[in-house]
Amino acid sequence: MTVVSVAALLSACGARSDLPVGAAAFPAVTVASPAPRPVDLEEYQIGPRDILMVSVFNEPGLTFEQLPVSSGGTIAMPLIGTLPASGKTAAELANDINARLNTRYLRNARTAVSVVTATNYTVTVDGAVIKPGIYDIPGRLMLSQALAVAGGAAQFAKMNEIVVFRDINGQRYAARFDMNDIRTGQAPDFQLRQRDTVVVGYNSAAAFFRDIVTTLPSAAAVFVALR
């Protein structure tokens, strides 16, 4: 993995600069308002089992109110056959359909694609949270909201060591955040994107001490044993 300028980029997005070895900050990170908004389907990346609406201008035989994306991430249409759809935006897929049609069948095809049902707008929350898992989200989600969706922080969670992983153009990036600073207003909340992974750190030293204490016998038991 290529490591970009971590200190400079993290300072721009409110994240900490002491990232794990091999991690890099997100390029061009943006922070939005804390209020959740509906999913922006213009930037949504189509995925398996989504339902699309496809319309080719003046071609009723190539217009579909509900066109499913297969589990393998493809669509099938007359004339053009099977076409990869997963990982593309609606606009990108429309351009691909136009290119296929213009190659052999039409001249200056005009295609509109929209997402009817988005089933792949998810985030993963892992680490020291009450309910780790993969969550469907109804709209854009902030980092603080993702932790609430996962039931909040677990015991011994390190709220100053929250890492968000993001895949961009086939490369994985990471940025580190301090939730204590976000909650007190010292740092802005962070807007998550489709398929981000949030990992909350774990205070192993505190957990180890807790485990030692719970295995010790009570004082009364020790006194009895010493008699």
Report the topology of domain 6-31+121-209. Answer: Outer membrane lipoprotein wza fold like (3.10.560)
**Domain 51-117 part of CATH 3.30.1950.10:** yes
How far is it, in rounded angstroms, from Cα 166 to Cα 159?
19
Does the pLDDT of residue 32 top 50, yes or no? no
* Entry pTM: 0.60
- Under the banding of pLDDT at 50, 70 and 90, the label for residue 224 is very low
Domains of the chain, residue spans: 6-31+121-209, 51-117
- The whole-number average pLDDT for the span 39-52 is 79
How far is it, in rounded angstroms, from Cα 54 to Cα 87?
17
